[in-house]
Every structure is written in C-alpha cells, then in structure tokens.
Structure 1
Amino acid sequence: MKDELAKRLKVCTRKVELMVNAGEIPAIKIGTAVRFNWEKVLEALEANQAA
C-alpha cells in the first residue's frame, strides 16, 4: 500500500514512511502491513497545509 500511496502523492515510498512516522498522515498497522484511508490522508494533508 505504501507504493500505491507514494504514486498518488507523487513521492517516493521513503517519504511516505517519514510522513507516517512524523504523524503527518494517518496509517493503520496490521501486523507488518501498513494501510491507508485515502480520504483521511487527504484531510490530514489539507489540515497540515492550513496550519
């Protein structure tokens, strides 16, 4: 899922990892897998830009 999100955001997968670790985008960890809700990611990014 990280690679799909990276493509949508037009960034590398490492940037996605850094954004998750920094709390900039929400992620759900299930075991070793990481899942994203696209709508919540967009909301978080918009909130970060407005701040």
Structure 2
Amino acid sequence: MKIFNFFEVKKMIDTTGRIPLWLIVILTGILIIALIGIFFFGSYTGLGSSL
C-alpha cells in the first residue's frame, strides 16, 4: 500500500494558479440548489402563497 505524501497530493490538486474546475462545479451547484429553494420557499410564504 502506497502512502501519499503532501507534495504528491499538492501536485495532483494544483492547477497552476487557476481555480479548480471541481470547486467551481460544486459552488455553482450549491448556488443553483439554493436559488431553487428560495423560489419554493417563496411559493409557500408571502405574496405567492395564495393562503
């Protein structure tokens, strides 16, 4: 079993100063889910609730 050292992991993660693509994908997904959640919340409360 090979034990990874810090430099090998850093080399795999490092993208020469740019933001890693996986981080952008995760943050975008979280924002989209939050936006959809806000719309669902608004449909059950406030002006759009029709209650």
Higher radius of gyration, 1 or 2: 2
TM-score (norm 2): 0.29
Higher relative contact order (CA 8 A, sep 6+): 1
Which structure: greater strand fraction? Answer: 1
